[in-house]
Structure 1
Amino acid sequence: MPSRRVVTGRSQEPRRRFAEELRLLRGARGESLRQVGERLGWDPSTFGKMESGESLGSPEIVEALDQHYGTPGLLLTLWELALADPSQFREQYRRYMALEAEAVSLWQFSVSVTPGLLQTPGYAREVLALGGLKGKDLNQQIEARTGRQKLLEGEDAPPFRAILSEAVLRTPMRDTQGWRDQLEYLLEVSERANITLQVMPQSSGLYGLVNTDTMFLRLLDGITVAYVETAHRGELIEENVSVERLQRAYDLMRDLALSPVESRKFILRMLEEAPCEPSI
């Protein structure tokens, strides 16, 4: 079968094609990034990042661009294809890792699993193994995950606040002693000056981030970005309006969570209730 002939000469990679289309449409209109920003009401740098492929933006921005350029549905379709591209997830995660290392403060909400920055090696092994990793790949990922924890150590460590759903603390590991080690580690790190742990009790009812693990990073330039993650995918969110919406949901949750002191008592109760290895 003959190879498929490229008709347009444009990129066949979804993310690059989306960025390329944005540049072509703006160029055809003879507009600057600042003009587009002024007409649509967003920061021009947002469109610059989208055109360079650094960011995909939000569906609201893409719909506004479709209307602005008179391309109903075209850009949104290209955006959806770029978002669904498996390589996109890996690229966004790599960028998130780079930003995490530079963050001046971090805060997170965890739905059902202890956050990676607070996992013991044993806990990390069990969680990562559930995703299909094994052997050398598993060991490398455990080392990488626990290595990230150095970010929270030392005199210059950034402040980190983690809100843990009660489900995180009521879902034990298969390894009984490993689970006790994890709970003890949470108690240990909660005593550090730069780490604040809070528990979101089930009695609080439904809340804004009920199904989404979310991490916020404040960067050196004062900008805040968010990374949301489910069991199957993650997304780096840099658009101001979307980050602000997530931040408001987080702030409301923080008001519903137990205080740091009460949260320590809660974790201690979980440790007291956790089964012990049978004595021989």
Structure 2
Amino acid sequence: MNKSFSLSRLKVDHQQVKDIFMLFIGVLCYAVGYTAFILPEKVVMGGVSGLSALIFYATAFPPGYSIWLLNFLMLGIAIKTLSRKFIYRTFIGVTMLAVVVAVLQPFFAAHPVITAGEDKFMHVLIGGLMGGIGLGVIYSHNGSTGGTDILIAILNKYFRMSFGRAMQFIDFTIIASSYLLFHSVELIVYGAVFTLVASYMCDYIVNGARQTVQFIIISKHYKEIADVINNSVHRGVTLVEGKGWYSQKEVDILIVMARRYESQDIFRCIKKIDPDALVSQTNCQGIFGEGFDTFK
């Protein structure tokens, strides 16, 4: 029993070490995009990083310090709203991000990777891609960098505002505030581009590996189709008994979960046996369990 407990504890610790390592990789990727491509172009994006950038442009106060201070100020305000686990993950993520940004910002200021007169849009695009990839890696390994997540928790509690609407409101307010400093609509557009690109890449990284589909198949030849999918595609098939409301006849329904790249093989199997089969294919955010992704 003690041996089993030790092995279980070792496995948990190994997963925690892996998560912290990947958290650092994600933070590093985000920080490079932020300090090497965004800060030199004086672009303000959404979130605490955007607010820290705005403070840096106005006062030259290092963004690494303001990222840390702003996040922990919000944590202090919302400490009763947030769970202990969220606070712990945010503390690690925010501290790591603040330290890396504090180191990289003066480095890239002294050794710039971009030069004046180059394509500004391309720099914003690269920064957004790196930022989104970094955030995707962080979220995929149970990490958090705080930011607007804390404000959203407060808005949800006191104003009953939805997650998406709260995030849009906060990001738009921060991006639009750059006009007070630079009086440039162009920079507002660049800030919006960064936020959209980063959000898309983050979502792609988090859900891209879970590109799974669900098939619902109705056919008189359901037995043959189920056998072929089992034996050829090597995917499980679930049989559900149903009833057609128009015909009032009993029908047998097959449900198949599969990876997206297996879709064509499944379609070929169905078409070969019953070209007239009724098939519905639905994209899934993720399928967890045996043969698919593991729970985290």
Q: Computing the radius of gyration over CA atoms, which structure comes out larger, 1 or 2?
A: 2
* Same fold, TM-score > 0.5, yes or no: no
Give TM class, smaller chain: under 0.3
Q: TM-score, normalised by structure 1?
A: 0.28
Q: TM-score, normalised by structure 2?
A: 0.27
